[in-house]
Structure 1
Amino acid sequence: METRDWMRDGLRAVAGGALAIALSLTNVVLFLLFVLALIMTPVLGLGLVLLPLVTSLVRLRAEAGRGVAGWWGVPVARPYRPRPPTIGFLGWRAYRWIITDPATWRDFAWLIPGAIVGLGLGLGSLLIPLYGLQGVVLLPLWIWLGTGWYGYGVIWPIESVSEGFLSLPQGALFLAIGLAVAPYLRRFDAQFARLFLAPTRNAELRLRVTELTVIRADTVDAQAAELRRIERDLHDGAQARLVALGMTIGLAEEMVERDPATARRLLAEAREASSTALVELRHLVRGIHPPVLAERGLDGAVRALALHLRIPTSVDSDVTERLDTPVESAAYFAIAEALANVTVHSGATFAYVSIKRDDSHLLLEVGDDGHGGADPSRGTGLRGIQRRLAAFDGTMTLSSPPGGPTIVTMELPCALSSPRTTLSSGTD
């Protein structure tokens, strides 16, 4: 580690120690308020109002603890049960929902131990470097104060400038040790907080079930919407043309004896209508599962897609193996939707697609040089990508600051599909 990085991390940890001291004091206050709310519930019933309010503050404090732990490389997931939409923020139902959530009591159990550990480690993170800094500046301080006694380190009297120099090496040593140890103290504090604030195994399973329930509902809704789209496209497009085609052929059959010229004209119109209906059916099938995806795999299908965009688009892929069909399809349509957003909304002059694969995940990235400002909450395109990937336990992250660039990063769990052929790879 470079000296600059080492000192930066140390100073950040010292600041984190000061923050931990302040937050530890709030733990004690919240603990007392929580106990007071519990006591007042059977006596005056005020806990029905007070406990939900205090619990909200406790959870805010716990969320701050999880956030601080995340700063030090110790991610802590939220363990709380989702609030049912029929439950308000106050009253008996809110009270019962709070006290039956195990995460409430884990937060409560953490308040005092977290305050003690946070205060102790925070003081350690803060005082050791400050003590070292005191030794470094002790000589100028002694000169400024003038004559008199001053002690430092192993406590020897300093009565002259020459003796004052003895504080410098000890001060520098304490300062270096303090800056080096402070990040480890902060990480230990984060690990201790995770013991209480992270979801238990049962809570993780419960949260996962809830998440999968939401994903399943979104997937079912998306599939239903896709079926309605296909039905509408068939009804309004190919089906209507085939009905008209049948009527035209019927008229030609009636006119073939009486007016052969008209019959030939009607048959020519029927042939043209059949060609149009065939093109529409091909477009519809391509929207369900593009033939190029089945023939050339994800790499070839994305390159073919990029060639038809109206802005220059480069494709960089190291995926030479065929993947499972559902994964290939989800990845293709996610990339296609992201590129559609680029061409329609970004105002970009250039776009790129990156497709990488590690041992167990497919890593996709779509970027552009547009004006940025993309927001999933303002449209259905990015939300559709999230729903499509979520069905496979995939994720999407978006970076789109005002002024650009916009980068959509997607990750899909995947495995090799061995019976299928290997493709050539390259870079456009």
Structure 2
Amino acid sequence: MSVTSETPRRPGPFLLTWYAVAQLGMSIALLALFIVWVVGGVLAVLWVGLVILVAAIPATRAIANVHRRMAARTLGSPVPDPYRPAPGGFFTRLRAYAVDPMTWRDLVWMPVAFVASFTINLVVVILALGVVTWFIWWFATPWLMRARASVDRWFLAYSRTERLEQRVQLLTETRADAVDHSAAELRRLERDLHDGAQARLVALSMSLGMAEAAFDTEDPEQARQLVRDARATTTAAIGDLRSVVRGIHPPVLADRGLSGAVEALALDMAVPVTVDARLPGRPLAPVESAVYFGVAECLANIGKHSGARNGWITLRHEDGVLRAVVGDDGRGGADPGAGTGMLGVMRRLAAFDGTLSVSSPAGGPTIITLEVPCDLSSPKTTPSSGPA
């Protein structure tokens, strides 16, 4: 979601008149698009209507965003762009459009904007053209255009109450997802410990017991062999425990930070992956871990499914948002809802108000963007980071 920045100064009558002329011209396009919407809705049963709608909705949103920017400048306050992300794929995108409440608000706004243009905007233009009415135009234009901008804001932006309701709903969903994810992680850890380290420790105990029995029967050679087996089992158990710990919080992440850890992931790939990481500090450890495992999952998918010859990763922190972009030049067609891996990444990020978006047209490239709002601390130097 992007936000139109607040302007320090409201536009004067001349610029507002230009807005009126532009909106008057766009009203014809809005009327045409409204007719296209109606035709597409009627023909939806024949499938061709769905194609018409998928083409008409982005055009409507483009015009609506122009009105949002004009309304923001006219009113001197931001008018957010509230559209939900529309992923790639015809049916996936169509579904995203259908479940986005702002899509339907745009539809209702279109005839209202057409009527407002031929009342308010036309009056402003007529007053500007008249010599006698010039004095009225100078003082009335700001009031008329603010009224028009208020109408646009009412339809094209959520109210504070609606935003709070959406926020509560989102927090409820992400909290439930976080609880489910934590429970699944606990079950995974329990399974890994039971099948790995615990089984080896049981074998270790049995080997030591047999070695003790061998000493009692005065068979030192067998006892030595059993002790050697116990040492090997101990080494394997330690390896299992380290593997479990890496699944919780990899040591490379704690030692080298997100940039270094991602570079280490890239070096382990069979496909050449370039990393461009420019982070002036480090996020909190939970956020760092969530982004790290998200990037790791994306790289695993590149290796298993993409057929790519090259991949790339960029890490940035801009405007209070940590952004990781993972791309490849593979065959494309990635569907984040097709498997559990990317859904798990979405749940991890959602716990921190983060998002994951996928652009993967057929034929590629595939670009996955992970974003998490967060602050960065000062870079930390650890003993394993190298000499100062």
TM bin, normalised by shorter chain, reads 0.5 to 0.7
Q: Select between 339-348 and 191-200 the one with higher mean Cα deviation.
A: 191-200
Name the residue aligned to 1:354: 314
Structure-2 separation of matches of 1:114 and 1:413: 35
Name the residue aligned to 2:75: none
Structure-2 separation of matches of 1:274 and 1:191: 72
Structure-2 separation of matches of 1:306 and 1:24: 49
Whether contact under 8 Å (1:21, 1:118) holds in the other structure is no
Structure-2 separation of matches of 1:407 and 1:285: 30
1:257-296 Cα deviation digits (max 9, x unpaired) = 3222211111111111111111111111011100111111
Name the residue aligned to 1:295: 255
Matches within 5 A, 1:257-406: 257-258=216-217, 259-406=219-366
Q: Count how many residue pairs are aligned between Structure 1 and Structure 2.
A: 301
Q: Would you say 1:207 and 2:212 are equivalent positions? A: no
Structure-2 separation of matches of 1:26 and 1:402: 27
TM-score (norm 1): 0.61
Whether contact under 8 Å (1:322, 1:422) holds in the other structure is no
1:28-55 Cα deviation digits (max 9, x unpaired) = xxxxxxxxxxxxxxxxxxxxxxxxxxxx
SS at 1:420's partner residue? coil
Whether contact under 8 Å (1:394, 1:413) holds in the other structure is yes
Name the residue aligned to 1:69: 64
Q: 1:22 to 1:310 in 2, by over 3 A?
A: closer
Task: Output the amino acid matched with 1:204.
Answer: R
SS at 1:317's partner residue? strand
Task: Output the amino acid matched with 1:117.
Answer: A
1:362-406 Cα deviation digits (max 9, x unpaired) = 121111111000011211222222211111111222111101111
Tell me by how many angstroms 1:407 deviates: 0.7
Q: Select between 186-195 and 267-276 the one with higher mean Cα deviation.
A: 186-195
Whether contact under 8 Å (1:248, 1:266) holds in the other structure is yes
Q: Would you say 1:17 and 2:22 are equivalent positions? A: no
Name the residue aligned to 1:238: 197
**Which of the residues 406, 409, 412 maps onto 2:369?**
409
Unaligned runs of 5+ in 2: 1-21, 38-55, 70-79, 85-101, 131-144
Name the residue aligned to 1:136: none
State, as a whole percentage, how many aligned pairs show the same letter: 49
Name the residue aligned to 1:93: none
Tell me by how many angstroms 1:20 deviates: 2.4
Name the residue aligned to 1:194: 153
Tell me by how many angstroms 1:18 deviates: 2.2
Whether contact under 8 Å (2:307, 2:330) holds in the other structure is yes
Name the residue aligned to 2:116: 117
SS at 2:314's partner residue? strand
Whether contact under 8 Å (1:348, 1:369) holds in the other structure is yes
Unaligned runs of 5+ in 1: 1-11, 28-60, 80-102, 129-152, 155-185
Q: 1:22 to 1:118 in 2, by over 3 A?
A: farther
Whether contact under 8 Å (1:72, 1:187) holds in the other structure is no
SS at 1:362's partner residue? strand
Task: Output the amino acid matched with 1:369.
Answer: D
Name the residue aligned to 1:420: 380
Whether contact under 8 Å (2:68, 2:152) holds in the other structure is no
Whether contact under 8 Å (2:27, 2:113) holds in the other structure is no
Task: Output the amino acid matched with 2:27.
Answer: G
Q: 1:410 to 1:271 in 2, by over 3 A?
A: same
